[in-house]
Structure 1
């Protein structure tokens, strides 16, 4: 009996691994952005141009039945669906349907309101992305929406930690920057400027703190839960504005992916702080000691589309080998399978 079950599972896994990847985009509801969906299909793939990326996909092909589960991916600040398409493909090859909402005011087409303004609305956008997939008859027939997985990277990792039961506050963001702006400047200021070790650094820090104190004087704790989400992975998350104690016992199985040479979100203030708070009730899915913040963007944005500061913060450090990333994707997929599939 065990041998028969194992043979069946291996056969199913082989079928999914051979499935092509379909692509469709669901229309937004209200002010929401569109939801990009990757899914298993038997239709042939073709070259698809999306921004600077050339991808192999099957646009608007009929979906094939996979494992019956949905995973939602939340992109980082200024991001889009395409920089997570390698992970999406790995998930589709394991039988998952994958949905990526375009977060309002914090995406590649409209980066106007990153940070706490976006963090307040992102979790509900994830919930509405689940609703949008469930409302589409192509997917309603082949997916169960009672057990959904979620992955988020960077600002999307912040979204992931919120949905795992964490509470955060703009006031906590302000207090973090007041205490550690010199050591975590990029997380407080983003792409506006950077410290260069010259006489202007003190002026930059002072001006940044004046803006932060004015904009983020709200000490409200923000939370959002969705009972359909049963497992979460946060990749290099922004986390310094969380009440770490709120994640000591995550509401769902929580995994983290960390990068040892992250210059944008210095690990000791962000991912390492959350790991210290939630261990042993969370899991380090993967640690990349030689990786920078942008390692989990796969495929990575070409350098010519990034400005000087973004390239410095997102570019791979010397010596980092991207050939390890398929193994990271495989570990994320395995974590999702372990907690979502019987």
Structure 2
């Protein structure tokens, strides 16, 4: 049981965070890309008025390149999913900015909306480094460095970005562990193992598809047994939503080094909960289930939603029947409160 005095302190911290940016709009700017990564998109509190702007297929209500104002001095870095961009996380970022946070979203090299050349372990290895690079970029930017205390940074990641968040919380993983998982559970977790390259249909060709998938997975991943890991001492809390977790050596997550929150989607057809987030929960006694979206699919946490997806991606990412997008307000608020509790004094 949490004592009433603790709840009071948490409530006061949340109230102060919200008050700090109560009259602020969301600013938007982009920092130059490091040599081996993509640009870093930054959402932040500003006193300038927001206006509708177009970014790809999305219309955002933001103030482009406006002067930042002081918020709560805390930074959160978002690691997007495979093939993702900053834009489908805009509604979450605006909730965080309204609480005073500044949010940085690095575009992951080789695994983003316009470049799929490094999807999978190559990107998974590099993503945590890109989070560190994003923090460094914020520290070096004269607009933001005076307004931020970078000794306590938060990380949020979704899907492949969820693996990034888990890695930064202490998880270690290897391609060989993914190969072992796919050898044992290929039919039950087929999209995890093959991505969008093909799918099972229930027809006579499924056996051929599975046989080919096993051969490719063994060839690509079976020999890569070294455990991968990366931490940054500035990161003080993380949230992983619908994370890729099959490659993880689960005992490394038994006692995360930082507060770790999880967001679950009960109808996830891309990363089946049993083999991913539920496996993390079974191992990590100290993890907090920030939100359990029982009727949600893999992409239901995204808002605004990516339009005009190819059919196979749409089947895996679009909302399943019965999911109510209005519930995302509560999910985003719960994530905001987790970061308020674990990052603010």
TM-score (norm 1): 0.96
Structure 1: which 4+ aligned runs deviate by more than 6 Å?
6-9
In structure 1, how many angstroms separate the alpha carbons of the residues matched to 2:243 and 2:298?
Answer: 10
Identify the residue that residue 175 of structure 1 maps to in structure 2.
Answer: 180
Identify the residue that residue 251 of structure 1 maps to in structure 2.
Answer: 257
In structure 1, how many angstroms separate the alpha carbons of the residues matched to 2:163 and 2:16?
Answer: 37
Secondary structure of 1:21's counterpart equals strand
In structure 2, how many angstroms separate the alpha carbons of the residues matched to 1:105 and 1:198?
Answer: 34
Structure 1 residues 46 and 201: CA distance shift in structure 2, 3 A: same
Secondary structure of 1:287's counterpart equals strand
Identify the residue that residue 164 of structure 2 maps to in structure 1.
Answer: 159
Structure 1 residues 177 and 25: CA distance shift in structure 2, 3 A: same
Structure 2's unaligned 5+ residue stretches are: none
Cα offset, 1:7, TM superposition: 8.4
Secondary structure of 2:91's counterpart equals helix
Q: Deviations over 1:108-162 (max 9, x none)?
A: 0101221111101110011001001110010000001110000000000000010
In structure 1, how many angstroms separate the alpha carbons of the residues matched to 2:314 and 2:280?
Answer: 26
In structure 2, how many angstroms separate the alpha carbons of the residues matched to 1:18 and 1:197?
Answer: 55
Matched, 1:230 2:236: yes
Matched, 1:90 2:95: yes
Identify the residue that residue 132 of structure 1 maps to in structure 2.
Answer: 137
In structure 1, how many angstroms separate the alpha carbons of the residues matched to 2:315 and 2:261?
Answer: 27
State which of 296, 301, 307 in structure 1 corresponds to 2:310.
307
Secondary structure of 2:73's counterpart equals coil
Structure 1 residues 9 and 80: CA distance shift in structure 2, 3 A: closer
Secondary structure of 1:294's counterpart equals coil
2:74–2:149 Cα contact (<8 Å) kept: yes
In structure 1, how many angstroms separate the alpha carbons of the residues matched to 2:13 and 2:152?
Answer: 23
Identify the residue that residue 47 of structure 2 maps to in structure 1.
Answer: 42
In structure 1, how many angstroms separate the alpha carbons of the residues matched to 2:132 and 2:321?
Answer: 38
Structure 1 residues 312 and 8: CA distance shift in structure 2, 3 A: closer
Secondary structure of 2:247's counterpart equals coil
Cα offset, 1:104, TM superposition: 0.7
In structure 1, how many angstroms separate the alpha carbons of the residues matched to 2:15 and 2:191?
Answer: 46
Identify the residue that residue 146 of structure 1 maps to in structure 2.
Answer: 151
Secondary structure of 1:78's counterpart equals coil
In structure 1, how many angstroms separate the alpha carbons of the residues matched to 2:22 and 2:121?
Answer: 39
In structure 2, how many angstroms separate the alpha carbons of the residues matched to 1:184 and 1:209?
Answer: 13
In structure 1, how many angstroms separate the alpha carbons of the residues matched to 2:98 and 2:251?
Answer: 36
Identify the residue that residue 261 of structure 1 maps to in structure 2.
Answer: 267
State which of 61, 83, 92 in structure 1 corresponds to 2:66.
61
State which of 188, 192, 215 in structure 1 corresponds to 2:193.
188
Cα offset, 1:13, TM superposition: 2.3
Aligned length: 337
In structure 2, how many angstroms separate the alpha carbons of the residues matched to 1:8 and 1:254?
Answer: 19
Identify the residue that residue 332 of structure 2 maps to in structure 1.
Answer: 329
Structure 1's unaligned 5+ residue stretches are: none
Matched, 1:104 2:109: yes
Structure 1 residues 94 and 12: CA distance shift in structure 2, 3 A: closer
Q: Deviations over 1:42-67 (max 9, x none)?
A: 00111110111011000000001000
